[in-house]
Amino acid sequence: AGDGDCGHTHARAARAIQEWVRARPPPAAPAQLLSALADLLLEKMGGSSGVLYGLFLTAAARPLLNRNDLPTWADAMDAGIEAMQRYGGAAPGDRTMLDSLCAAAQALHALRSPGTDLLPVLAAAVQSAEAAAEATRHMEAGAGRASYISSAQLLQPDPGAVAVAAVLRAVLEGLRS
């Protein structure tokens, strides 16, 4: 879909993050970690995905400056999505990474309930993101590079939506181990 560079840009981002983590310990404070990741992705990832992830992470870091409890992580997700929508111009249903992010965010709203356990909520968010990514297979592209391609040629799920679901799955697996 699009110009076919989604896998390459995500692989470039993964390599940059691996090198960064090997070179120095990442910041322990969540806001600083997200801000540092935003800078890294803006510099190393490239493409519109790098810009969108940078916008997302920069905005998501703001709520985490003074608090990092579970409800604030839900707020951070919402802030990141809002920034992506404002600056990127896409919305859920446009067959983009926002489809997966918004589905995950809906599940993460459960973090705002007192006594919520993170891992089951995050597992539900990952499942929602994966289902939303698969659902993009049948959507008309309303934004992004895929919107320049005939719908008849869009036979796979949106690669950005699939990538977001994969990143969320990796976070879940990392927290579980």
For the chain, which residues make up each domain, given as ranges? Answer: 5-176
pLDDT of residue 70: 96
- Angle in degrees, CA 159, 128, 71, rounded to 5: 115
HEC string for 50-81 = HHHHHHHHHHHHHHHHCCCCHHHHHHHHHHHH
Contact 144, 90 (CB under 8 A): yes
Distance CA 122, CA 127 (A): 9
The confidence score (pLDDT) of residue 1 equals: 44
Of 175, 168, 156, the C-alpha closest to 53 is: 168
Residues of the chain with pLDDT under 50: 1-2, 148, 152
How is domain 5-176 classified at the architecture level of CATH? Alpha Horseshoe (1.25)
Give yes or no for a contact between 1 and 149, defined as CB atoms under 8 angstroms apart: yes
CA dist., res. 101 & res. 81, Å (int): 7
